[in-house]
Amino acid sequence: MTTDSGQGAADFASTPAQKKAAAGTIRDDLEPNTKKTAERADTATESARKGFDGWETAAGLKTVAGTWDRQVRSLMGRLALEKNALSGASGLFARNDIGVGNQLLAQSKLDRL
């Protein structure tokens, strides 16, 4: 990432607080609302399927419901991964900075020998 002058960026595009807030949005809003919406869709689809019992439409609704459930599980997994990544990003950057600093310190001590 660079600034307009091409000298390099002074900071990251988002702060630890912004990452924490984004993880909180996933945890507090997206995950529970996705789960509730999926449950409502499952209930409505099952009701419709029962209404079409004995028709090919019922079999089609069962297939669609299975596909929907797999997609919801995939989305919930992705949300969890993103939430965890956002939550751990600040610590990762800090540990990386400390590690690089330690390597440079060790190298500078070797240079003095």
Q: Is residue 7 part of a domain?
A: no
Q: Is residue 35 part of a domain?
A: yes
| Contact by Cβ (8 Å): 72, 5 | no
Whether residue 1 contacts residue 13, with contact meaning beta carbons closer than 8 Å, is answered with yes
Q: Is residue 102 part of a domain?
A: no
Q: Residue type for 24, please?
A: G
Q: Which of 41, 93, 104, 100 is nearest to 67 (CA)?
A: 41
Note the pLDDT tens digit of each residue in 3-45: 444 454 555 567 888 888 999 999 999 999 999 999 999 999 9
Per-residue pLDDT at 14:
72
Instruction: Give domain status of residue 26, yes or no.
Output: yes
Could you list the beta-strand ranges (E) of 5-87.
Answer: none
Range of the domain at 90: 16-97
Strands (E), the chain: none
Q: Tell me the pLDDT tens digit for each residue of 49-104.
A: 999 999 999 999 999 999 999 999 999 999 999 999 998 876 666 677 777 777 88
Report the C-alpha gap between 56 and 62 in whole angstroms: 10
What is the number of domains present in the chain?
1
Question: In this structure, is residue 89 part of a structural domain?
Answer: yes
